């Protein structure tokens, strides 16, 4: 019997799992830490290398006092991710295996694409890209919806050594422009439009605006390749710039269906992915070839206990790291069959995810707590209408999962049969870091449980002292793992400052955590100025910056607020230009919100605007966010010490304006 609240792995699942007991996990984990050469060397040998590495692991230094932070894995090796994710399987006789089961936004028959077909499409696109001068080290920006051509575009870049930067196609023109100005690609790959639920959006219109802004900012993109999405709008209605734009089908269809792979150094960059930090503009997290390949593939295999006949569905978009590691790379490196779903989970009804599970016989489902909570709010009947008997393992990612949502996922969606893998990781870590293994780890609802192989977490106190045993503090990682970021694009100094300056000798995650007496980790959320909205990172500084671009706003302070569906919401305190009353006329709120949507994108829409004739500041002018956080979360009974405020009366004024 296990202790109450602990969910042991189902016996039949454990029997056939890659790791089937705690004992086996402990042994493998120990080997991964004590003999990393052997452990990672054995795993890496299962991939194709044009040239084998001379040393699998690693020259890594996490201590700034000992010189620059440099991480290298599989030194001297040469490989290619596209070859390993596609050609290798076709060469092994799996060309006829389905890679993508594509389900569009509207209910329809769906379509499928085999690994052989993926290879052909990747090669044609890669040949076209080469013909316009893209090659090793070139930057390519991708702004596309979740259609099979999105992972195909990423793989085509990887095939020829181009560095992709996927920008989530829900970001605004201005956000796109910022990322284009940072990575300065000559080529942008996009799509005419997208349907999201009942709405049709012209992606090409957004791209045109973004590229114009980038040109005004000093970088002109030479080529824009546009995939025509037939469900959205006629070709003739798509806005066009003749000397820059090309239709994907015109460019690609007549290209040869084979294309040599470009072999790449193990440490050559694979992609950049921009993510929000606590200060300034989003940073370009840069991953490299071999370590990321080994990390994303190995975690996929063990964490989802992947077997050849599984059907996998990850609901994330490739615009986020989850879509990179667990749509494009991890599953395809394992020759998995996966569902690519373009729509939203609640359209046309909240039964859609479960209909998709039944339609494609999904066995491994990976989604976010925010999606679970929004589906849970629609009631159980709609779930029970579907059989869901194909499901084997359920996963979550993006934010801590609350116990009620965990139980609902377990009991209602998984009929208590399916282990839940609550996977903690980050854009920067490239792959799962703290996570159960479904055949081995007894689960505690709300805990991401134990470290994956090769990951050595630690808990530090404020002073940077490592705490032993059961403890609460800052989560750090003690040594390099294969898929970790290598730098921030073009800014090694910011890389070192962001992750290695805070606690010397450790990688700082930006998360707080508790570790219990069994060595289980419980993530408690960001400890920096990053808000986790529906599992997406939004920097408070970015939202404040967007608000102050509005001519009505003089100053803004943004804090997280608890939100029943999104986990955290965005709560903005706003001071207005002279001459406005508090509260101001109704249109002011709308104008501020519209500004944020335009500057960053709809995901950054503030949930609440709280009028602030003054903000609580110290005498040196620093905003006391601690106080604002309490006010936003209605915890003003415990405001703490306000005597250091330059003007303590601002707090009373703020409280009097709540809900106004
Ligand atoms: C993969 C991804 C990273 C931040 C991370 C943490 C939060 C992610 C979590 C989780 C608790 C989990 N986070 N997974 N918190 N439990 N299972 O989401 O990457 O977008 O970079 O966000 O998300 O706060 O630091 P990214």
Residue among 399, 508, 509, 510 whose CB has most ligand 1 atoms within 8 A, to mutate: 399
Percent of the chain scoring above 70 in pLDDT: 99
Evaluate if residue 581 carries a pLDDT over 70.
yes
Ligand 1 contacts CB of residue 291 (under 6 A) = no
Q: Which atom of ligand 1 is nearest to the CA of 525?
A: 24
Residue 2's pLDDT band (cuts 50, 70, 90) = low
Q: Whose CA is nearest to atom 22 of ligand 1?
A: 426
Q: Whose CA is nearest to atom 4 of ligand 1?
A: 426
Ligand 1 contacts CB of residue 278 (under 6 A) = no
Other CB atoms within 10 Å distance of the CB of residue 63: 11
**What's the predicted TM-score (pTM) here?**
0.94
Ligand 1 contacts CB of residue 511 (under 6 A) = yes
More confident site: 491 or 57: 491
Taking the C-alpha atoms of residue 645 and residue 476, their distance in angstroms, rounded to an integer, is 33
The pLDDT assigned to 281 comes to 83
Q: How far, in Å, is the centroid of ligand 1 from the Cα of 399? A: 5
Residue among 371, 423, 425 whose CB has most ligand 1 atoms within 8 A, to mutate: 425
**Average pLDDT for the chain:** 95
Q: Whose CA is nearest to atom 15 of ligand 1?
A: 399
Contact 308, 337 (CB under 8 A): no
The pLDDT assigned to 1 comes to 47
Pairing of strands 466-467, 487-488: unpaired
Q: Give mean pLDDT, residues 297-301.
A: 98
Q: How far, in Å, is the centroid of ligand 1 from the Cα of 481? A: 17
Evaluate if residue 191 carries a pLDDT over 50.
yes
pLDDT tens readout for residues 353-369: 999 999 999 999 999 99
Q: Whose CA is nearest to atom 12 of ligand 1?
A: 424
Taking the C-alpha atoms of residue 58 and residue 203, their distance in angstroms, rounded to an integer, is 42
- Maximum CA pair distance of the chain? 74
Q: How far, in Å, is the centroid of ligand 1 from the Cα of 563? A: 17
**Tokens, residue 353:** 């995810």
Residue 59's pLDDT band (cuts 50, 70, 90) = low
Q: Give mean pLDDT, residues 346-352.
A: 95
The pLDDT assigned to 642 comes to 82
- Classify burial at 462, counting beta carbons within 10 Å of its beta carbon; exposed 0-12, middle 13-18, buried 19 or more: exposed
Residue among 285, 409, 537 whose CB has most ligand 1 atoms within 8 A, to mutate: 537
**Is 528 part of the annotated catalytic residue set?**
yes
Torsions phi, psi for 213 (to 5 deg): -60, -40
Ligand 1 contacts CB of residue 397 (under 6 A) = yes
Taking the C-alpha atoms of residue 462 and residue 229, their distance in angstroms, rounded to an integer, is 52
**Tokens, residue 551:** 């001519």
pLDDT tens readout for residues 604-660: 999 999 999 999 988 877 888 889 999 999 998 988 878 788 888 999 999 999 999
Ligand 1 contacts CB of residue 447 (under 6 A) = no
- What strand order describes the sheet that includes 521-526? 466-467, 457-460, 471-477, 507-515, 521-526
Taking the C-alpha atoms of residue 165 and residue 283, their distance in angstroms, rounded to an integer, is 12
Residue keyed to tokens 């039944």: 358
Evaluate if residue 143 carries a pLDDT over 60.
yes
Q: How far, in Å, is the centroid of ligand 1 from the Cα of 142? A: 23
Percent of the chain scoring above 90 in pLDDT: 91
Beta bridge pairs of residue 521? 449, 515
Evaluate if residue 172 carries a pLDDT over 90.
yes
Q: How far, in Å, is the centroid of ligand 1 from the Cα of 162? A: 27
Q: How far, in Å, is the centroid of ligand 1 from the Cα of 562? A: 16
**What element of type H or E holds 522?**
strand 521-526
Q: Which atom of ligand 1 is nearest to the CA of 435?
A: 17
Ligand 1 contacts CB of residue 374 (under 6 A) = no
Ligand 1 contacts CB of residue 328 (under 6 A) = no
Taking the C-alpha atoms of residue 100 and residue 312, their distance in angstroms, rounded to an integer, is 10
pLDDT tens readout for residues 526-557: 998 899 999 999 999 899 999 999 999 999 99
Annotated catalytic residue, options 209, 358, 415, 528:
528
**Tokens, residue 194:** 């997208």
Ligand 1 contacts CB of residue 323 (under 6 A) = no
Other CB atoms within 10 Å distance of the CB of residue 150: 26
Q: Give mean pLDDT, residues 410-433.
A: 98
Ligand 1 contacts CB of residue 567 (under 6 A) = no
Please give the full DSSP string across 133-166, using - where no structure is assigned: T--TT-EEEEE--SSTHHHHHHHHHHHHT-EEEE
């Amino acid at each position: 019997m296990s202790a109450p609240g602990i969910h042991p792995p189902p016996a039949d699942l454990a029997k056939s799992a890659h790791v089937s007991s705690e004992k086996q996990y402990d042994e493998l984990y120990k080997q991964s830490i004590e003999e990393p050469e052997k452990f990672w060397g054995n795993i890496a040998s299962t991939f194709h290398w044009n040239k084998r590495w001379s040393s699998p692991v690693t020259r890594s230094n996490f201590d700034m006092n000992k010189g620059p932070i440099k991480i290298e894995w599989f030194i001297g090796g040469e490989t290619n991710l596209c070859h390993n994710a596609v050609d290798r399987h076709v060469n092994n006789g799996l060309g006829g295996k389905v890679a993508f089961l594509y389900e569009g936004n509207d209910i329809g028959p769906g379509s499928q694409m085999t690994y052989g077909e993926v290879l052909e499409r990747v090669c044609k696109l890669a040949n076209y890209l080469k013909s316009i001068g893209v090659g090793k080290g070139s930057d390519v920006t991708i702004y596309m919806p979740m259609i099979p051509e999105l992972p195909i575009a990423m793989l085509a870049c990887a095939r020829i050594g181009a560095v992709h930067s996927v920008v989530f196609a829900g970001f605004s023109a201005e956000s796109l422009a910022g990322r284009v100005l940072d990575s300065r690609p000559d080529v942008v790959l996009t799509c005419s439009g997208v349907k999201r639920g009942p709405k049709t959006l012209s992606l090409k219109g957004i791209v045109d605006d973004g590229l114009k802004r980038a040109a005004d900012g000093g970088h002109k993109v030479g080529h824009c390749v546009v995939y025509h999405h037939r469900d959205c709008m006629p070709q003739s209605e798509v806005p066009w710039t003749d000397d820059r734009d090309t239709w994907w089908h015109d460019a690609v269809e007549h290209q040869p269906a084979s294309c040599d792979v470009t072999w790449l150094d193990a440490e050559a960059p694979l992609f950049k992915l921009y993510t929000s930090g606590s200060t300034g503009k989003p940073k370009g997290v840069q991953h490299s070839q071999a370590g990321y390949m080994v990390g994303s593939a190995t975690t996929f295999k063990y964490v989802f206990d992947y077997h050849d006949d599984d059907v996998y569905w990850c609901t994330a978009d490739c615009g986020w790291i989850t879509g990179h590691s667990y749509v494009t790379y991890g599953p395809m490196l394992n020759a998995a069959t996966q569902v690519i779903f373009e729509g939203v989970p609640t359209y046309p009804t909240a039964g859609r995810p479960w209909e998709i599970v039944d339609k494609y016989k999904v066995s491994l489902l990976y989604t976010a707590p925010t999606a679970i909570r929004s589906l849970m709010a629609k009631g159980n009947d709609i779930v029970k209408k579907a059989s869901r008997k194909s499901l084997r393992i359920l996963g979550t990612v993006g934010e801590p999962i609350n116990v009620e949502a965990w139980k609902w996922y377990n009991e209602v969606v998984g009929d208590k049969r399916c282990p839940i893998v609550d996977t903690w990781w980050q854009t920067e870590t490239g792959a799962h870091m703290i996570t159960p293994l479904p055949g081995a780890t007894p689960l505690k609802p709300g805990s991401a449980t134990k470290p994956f192989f090769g990951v050595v977490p630690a808990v530090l106190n404020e002073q940077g002292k490592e705490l032993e045993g059961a403890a609460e503090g800052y989560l750090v990682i003690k040594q390099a793992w294969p898929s970790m970021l290598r730098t921030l694009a073009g800014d090694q100094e910011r890389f070192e400052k962001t992750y290695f300056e805070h606690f010397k000798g450790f990688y700082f995650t930006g998360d707080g955590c508790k570790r219990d007496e069994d060595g289980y980790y419980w993530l408690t959320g960001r400890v920096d100025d990053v808000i986790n909205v529906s599992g997406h990172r939004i920097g408070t500084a970015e939202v404040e910056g967007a608000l102050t671009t509005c001519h009505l706003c003089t100053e803004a302070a943004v804090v997280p607020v608890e939100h029943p569906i999104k986990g955290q919401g965005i709560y903005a305190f706003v001071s207005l230009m002279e001459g406005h009353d508090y509260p101001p006329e109704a249109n002011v709120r709308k104008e501020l919100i519209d500004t944020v949507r335009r500057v960053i994108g709809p995901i950054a829409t503030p949930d609440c605007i709280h009028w602030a004739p003054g903000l609580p500041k110290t005498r040196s002018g620093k905003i006391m966010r601690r106080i604002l956080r309490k006010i936003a979360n209605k915890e003003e009974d415990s405001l703490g010490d306000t005597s250091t405020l330059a003007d303590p009366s601002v707090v009373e004024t703020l409280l009097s304006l709540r809900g106004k």
